[in-house]
Structure 1
Amino acid sequence: MPSPEWTYKHATELRNHWWWRPGWQVGTRFYTWHITFDGQHELHRLVDTYQAELARHPGLDLIPHQWLHLTMQGVGHTADVTTDQVGILIAAAQARLAALAPATVEFHRPVIRPEAIVLPALPPTEIDRIRTAVRASIADALGPDSVPDRADGFQPHVTLAYSSSSQPAEAITSAIESISSEPVQISVPTATLIELHRDSRMYEWHTVAEVPIGSEACGTLPDQ
């Protein structure tokens, strides 16, 4: 099966990523499921390889290792989800994710999107099955009509840099295509429920729970 177009076709123009989406402003907090990459040193080295070149180009906000993430599935604004519902959601996710086989994905060549430079997660189906389980756990906990976003059209990726201005993408495309790199395979041991904000032109978060994938072990809650 050929790779989907979004995994290799570059956008020709960049635009500012940091416009406020409906329902968002400074102070907004949002529960969402991400895959995060603490301790994934091979991925960090691949990111560093490309960010060293991207740093030469204005209008790009590079993502530090601490905030590297793969956006997977939103839950809802913190004002709309109670503490009890969060506990039920975590328990439902533990049950769903424990039943999955372990996941492994590969990252290699960046792709320029209209608002970011990203590393596609390949094959996308590995992350999609995790997301499907997470979506089912939201339905279990909050009801089938409470699952945000569409089930289809998911494009799993890790962002290297967000665009903070409008500019042609040609120079950046040429720069990243001139770099030689080796693909990196990583295991995905957990899905992470986070409380997210973007107050400072960066996606930052507090970890609510880390839930193992392919394990009967219980998820971990962060120190309070």
Structure 2
Amino acid sequence: MSSRELASLHERWTAYQNLPELTNHWYWRPGWRADRHFYTWHLTFNNQPKLHQLVTELQHDLALPGLDLVPIDGLHLTMQGLGFTDDVPDTDIEAIVAEAQQRCAGLPPLELSLGPVDPDAEGIGLLVRPWHRVEHLRAVIRDAIGAVWPIVPEPAQGFRPHVTIAYSGAPVPTEPIRARLAELREHPPASVTIRQMPLIALRRENRAYRWKTIATVPLAG
């Protein structure tokens, strides 16, 4: 694990020890509403049995008041947003996807490790490592967007790869959750191989994120 990953894990765990209560993750961010969908690039985790087993085991022990467990088919790693579907023309989507497919064709599949548990006020995630591989893929996608649009949405900096397994659903005390997480921190991580990245239309539904796949970019190198 790199020093950046270790530092992040340590800092976030230390901060969590001083967190009195959770923050409800499900407030409406600017522009969001129940009937609105958002174009975004995500890594998704279908056909990843090792990860699914790990998450199932962890969630068994995290069925606690205040936590909304993420469905297995809802696991994702947020990469790069584009915009709300009613704001982005279909022609722009087609052009950005074509650029992304061309630029990613020579990239190898991502070999990643997920774990240990990595909590904050709005949820419990799994640390993703190594970061630099995910960061490189995100930079390629941003370059693809920049080939079509003069301004790429969202900051290039401040990106932290993670996969959430439980969202904070109510401002409950963190003490019982901290105690449970302390028992789970030594759980061995799971390895995954990512061979493609989808562009999805994301929505919120019943305190969970759901989506429709719009296009897929293979990592074929």
Match of 1:118 among 97, 112, 125: 125
Residue in 1 that maps onto 2:62 = 54
Q: CA deviation at 1:206?
A: 0.3
The answer to whether the aligner puts 1:191 opposite 2:197 as a matched pair is yes
Aligned-partner SS, 1:121: strand
TM-score under structure 1 length normalisation: 0.89
The answer to whether the aligner puts 1:153 opposite 2:155 as a matched pair is no
Aligned-partner SS, 2:111: strand
In 2: Cα distance, 1:32 partner to 1:93 partner: 13
Q: CA deviation at 1:117?
A: 0.3
Alignment of 1:77-116 (within 5 A): 77-116=84-123
Residue in 1 that maps onto 2:9 = 7
Q: CA deviation at 1:193?
A: 0.3
The answer to whether the aligner puts 1:177 opposite 2:182 as a matched pair is yes
CA contact (8 A) 1:27 1:199 kept: no
How large is the Cα RMSD of the aligned pairs?
A: 1.4
Residue in 2 that maps onto 1:166 = 171
In 2: Cα distance, 1:169 partner to 1:78 partner: 36
CA contact (8 A) 1:50 1:176 kept: no
CA contact (8 A) 2:113 2:129 kept: yes
Dislocated runs of 4+, deviation >4 Å: none
Q: CA deviation at 1:90?
A: 1.0
Alignment of 1:22-37 (within 5 A): 22-37=30-45
In 1: Cα distance, 2:121 partner to 2:202 partner: 22
The answer to whether the aligner puts 1:139 opposite 2:140 as a matched pair is no
Q: CA deviation at 1:158?
A: 0.6
The answer to whether the aligner puts 1:213 opposite 2:214 as a matched pair is no
TM-score under structure 2 length normalisation: 0.91
Identity %: 40
Q: Which ranges in structure 1 are unaligned for 5 or more consecutive residues?
A: 216-224
In 1: Cα distance, 2:188 partner to 2:205 partner: 35
1:75-130 C-alpha deviation (Å, 9 max, x unpaired): 11111111121111111110111132332111121111110100011111111111
In 1: Cα distance, 2:172 partner to 2:39 partner: 32
Match of 1:73 among 67, 70, 80: 80
Q: Which ranges in structure 2 are unaligned for 5 or more consecutive residues?
A: none
Q: State the number of aligned residues.
A: 212
